[in-house]
Structure 1
Amino acid sequence: MLKSNEKLFRIIELLLENGRAGVTELADETLYHKSTVYTHLQTLQENGLAFKSEGKYQLSLKFLTISDQIRNQRPVYRHGHEEIDSLASETGELSYLAVPEDDVVTILHYARGEKATLSVTAGSTVPITEHSVGKMLLALRSETEEYMPSDVFVDSAEDISEAVAEARRNGFVISTERDGSGPSIAEPDQSGPRSESHLTDVQHKTVAAPVLDENDEPLAVVAITGLSKRINGEYQERVCQQVVRAAAVIERKLDVEQTVRASNRS
């Protein structure tokens, strides 16, 4: 059964990557027997998750319904997406809400302001230790230091403890990253003539603040990413305040929901 599930997931991945494919194409790419591929495709089709057109299969839009339902089940999304939209509108920057899932950080919601030169995709992930939004989550967790690499927060491993303490004290982190320097949630947007992110030496700065639960454990991160040359000085200070404020508003909304639920139960 486990092997069968793995094969089904692999076929879904290939349909997602290729857009559409036939039984023979999928069998050649997976090295599965044609009958195996056909059986899994029929299972997807019978459950409304795929359909056949002109001899090829592709995933159905039912996956959109599934993803929306999953996202809406997260209280932090229900109470956070409007704050992210407002943050992008106020600052003009790329704003997003990210959550930890095991050892990765996943984009839950995003909004692009008019000055944004980067873009993200809802559902995209990055290893939790390899981006500032993940490190914000790690910095606020207990017994964090042993997991904290130093490539974004600080210049040397000796400064990790100090950087963690500062992140906890300030309630936010600021990091500067160069395009192509490593894994990133945000990717260059090549679509607009005003975009400067096609330049390989462009630096981007991320400001991230946590959304904490009732035990002061991080549930999510509110973040803004924009050009380093723009996010500095007084503007940087203002952005930090806006990001921290947005995270605090989401926290308050979550607290109210919990209070109401507790009251209803009693």
Structure 2
Amino acid sequence: MSENAKHPIKSVGRSVRILETLKDSDWHGVTEISRKVDLNKGSVHHHLSTLKENGFVVEEDGKYRLGMRFLEFGIHARNQMKLYEVAKPKIDELAEETGELANLMIEENGLGVYLYIAGGDQALSLDTKVGTQQYLHTCALGKTILAHLPDPEVDRILQNHGLPEETPNTVTDREDLFRELEQVRERGLAFDGEERAEGIRCVAAPIRTNDGELLGAVSVSGPASRMKQHRFKNEIADLVENTATVIQINATYG
């Protein structure tokens, strides 16, 4: 779990704000970026020029977008993780077997990060993509992760990120969340009742080593209309739990 930098470098922080703005849409001009990040146009142009020189942004007709060098960094970071290597084929199988979206998430800096997503033949197109960050309390994957972290670490995550509401069903009360996390530990599964996105339900299970170290979580998500009680709580839940177990074994002994 990361903490705020004691001596942050302001110029780096400004570059990050500019990159976050570029991430939100395809192309931006200097004036638009300047307004969004509250920096003067000269400063924004200097940052963009440096980022362009290093391959992190592309400029065309005075407008800028993120460069493909980020793709190189992201793929390299993901491929360094043994969990991705051993989990990918099992996530693909889970998606094919259920026909829905199968997801692999890890925790990084107090947020959930989608490490891999595979879609079955009936899978919805959602706003979650590989690399998307997610508040942990808002989804089954995240609640699974929180349930298997030490309480002091959960406290730090909540202190840093709070409990923002994403739908009317999102758990935003600390005591309610901790009660739910206890239930997740007891049953070994977490369920998302349209808490991150209305109309979408999800069931997740943790991936841990034999000594209890948390590696991540796996889930299946789909429309509430197809995630009915028996299929949701039994059939799909069993498939998710079995997939997590196989990934755990492969990650431990593979």
Sort the TM-score into its range (normalised by shorter chain): 0.7 to 0.9
Q: Does 1:43 align with 2:55?
A: no
Q: Does 1:107 align with 2:103?
A: no
**Is the Cα contact below 8 Å between 1:204 and 1:225 reproduced in 2?**
yes
Q: Residues 158 and 174 (structure 1 numbering): CA distance in 2 closer, same or farther, change over 3 Å?
A: closer
Unpaired runs of 5+ residues, structure 1, are 188-201, 258-266
Alignment map for 1:32-111 (pairs within 5 Å) = 32-111=39-118
- Contact between 1:132 and 1:152, CA under 8 Å: does it hold in 2? no
Distance, in Å, in 1 between the alignment partners of 2:201 and 2:48 is 44
How much does 1:166 deviate?
A: 4.3
Pick from 139, 142, 149 the counterpart of residue 147 of structure 2.
139
SS, match of residue 38 in structure 1: helix
Q: Does residue 173 of structure 1 match 2:190?
A: yes
8 Å Cα contact 1:92-1:112 kept in structure 2 = yes
Per the alignment, residue 211 of structure 1 pairs with 207
Residue equivalent to 2:3: none
Q: Which structure 2 residue ranges, 5 or more long, are not aligned?
A: 1-7, 164-168
Per-residue CA deviations over 1:180-234 (Å, capped at 9, x if unaligned) read xx5x2xx5xxxxxxxxxxxxxx643311100002431322110011233433455
- Whichever residue aligns with residue 171 of structure 1, its letter is G
| Count of equivalent residues | 233
**Which 10-residue stretch deviates more, 214-223 or 15-24?**
15-24
- What is the root-mean-square deviation in Å for CA atoms of aligned residues? 3.0
Q: Say which SS state the counterpart of residue 137 (structure 2) adopts.
A: coil
Q: 1:52 to 1:92 in 2, by over 3 A?
A: same
TM-score by length of 2: 0.78
Larger radius of gyration: 1
Query: Identical aligned pairs, as a percentage?
Result: 28
The 3 A distance-change label for structure 1 pair 25 and 173 is closer
2-structure distance, mates of 1:156, 1:68:
36
The TM-score with structure 1 as length reference comes to: 0.75
